Amino acid sequence: MADNDMVLTAPEAKITSRHEKADIVRSRVIKAALHAFALHGFEGARLKDIAAAADISLPLLVYHFESKENLWETAMRQAAGLLDARIRDLNAATDLSPTDKLRQLVIALVSVCAEFPEFHRIMSMESYKLSKRLIFLCKQCAKHHYLSMMEIITNAQKHNPEMSQIAAERLCYVMIGMARISNNAAEFEYLTGIDPKSPKEIKTTIRDICDLLRIPA
């Protein structure tokens, strides 16, 4: 019986191993791609450089992603998904008050921007004009964030009259703008001598946004 079990499970183990290896390769490529697109923009990023940074061959990269356009879209979806997951959890939470949800949103937004600044750098690059890529970003990524954030902000405003009553859509973009300070980390650190991505400064950014919203940090 043991021998039969081995015959049945060994192919499955090999398949799992192949799938795991493919996932590792894709993860390395996406990480390298986000860095390249954030640094050079879509036009300036080159697949051969991304492949080299991911330590794989160019043909293997093309096998997994087919084209630069598909790689860009896949990378942006995955990067946006990090914040999506946290916002979904907040909207689903039943044990948090509207103000607490907003505070947790601030923490999630600042933390994700500091940990993965590439997504918002690319958003900034693409936002200067209406284009096919910007429309993709708005439909596939930014719209989900915006609508979820608007729901949390407006609910907090309704339940907390002491909170800032600036139009919710403007507060949404003010929060994003302040959370994006990590995008300008090199400039900020050069001018101020302060690293905005340090744990201390991340806490300071969270506190400053909460102060602006007039909610407890």
Other CB atoms within 10 Å distance of the CB of residue 184: 15
Does 1.10.10.60 match the CATH number of domain 1-66?
yes
126 vs 86 pLDDT, higher one: 126
Closest CA to 56 of 78, 15, 24: 24
Give the whole-angstrom CA distance, residue 44 versus residue 76. 17
Percent of the chain with pLDDT over 70: 91
Place 83 in a pLDDT band, splitting at 50, 70 and 90: confident
Q: What pLDDT sits at residue 10? A: 46
Predicted pLDDT of residue 217? 85
pLDDT recorded at residue 1: 47
pLDDT for position 18? 66
* 152-175 average pLDDT score: 95
Name residues whose C-beta falls within 8 Å of residue 47's C-beta, 6 or more positions apart in sequence.
Answer: 58, 61, 62, 68, 71
Local confidence band at 16 (pLDDT 50, 70, 90 cut-offs): low
Q: Which residues contact 36 (CB under 8 A, 6 or more apart)?
A: 45, 46, 49, 50, 53
**pLDDT band of 86, cuts 50, 70, 90:** confident
The residues near 141 (Cβ < 8 Å, ≥ 6 apart) are 76, 77, 79, 80, 119, 123
Residues of the chain within CATH 1.10.357.10 domain(s) are 72-217
The CATH class that applies to domain 72-217 reads mainly alpha
The confidence score (pLDDT) of residue 85 equals 84
Q: What is the mean pLDDT of residues 110-133?
A: 91
| pLDDT per position as a tens digit, 178-210 | 999 988 899 999 999 999 999 999 999 999 999
**pLDDT above 70 (res 13):** no
Look at residue 174 and tell me whether its pLDDT is greater than 90: yes
pLDDT-derived band at 76 (thresholds 50, 70, 90) equals very high
| Each residue's pLDDT tens digit, 23-72 | 889 999 999 999 999 999 999 999 999 999 999 999 999 999 999 999 99
Ranges for all domains in the chain classified under CATH 1.10.10.60: 1-66
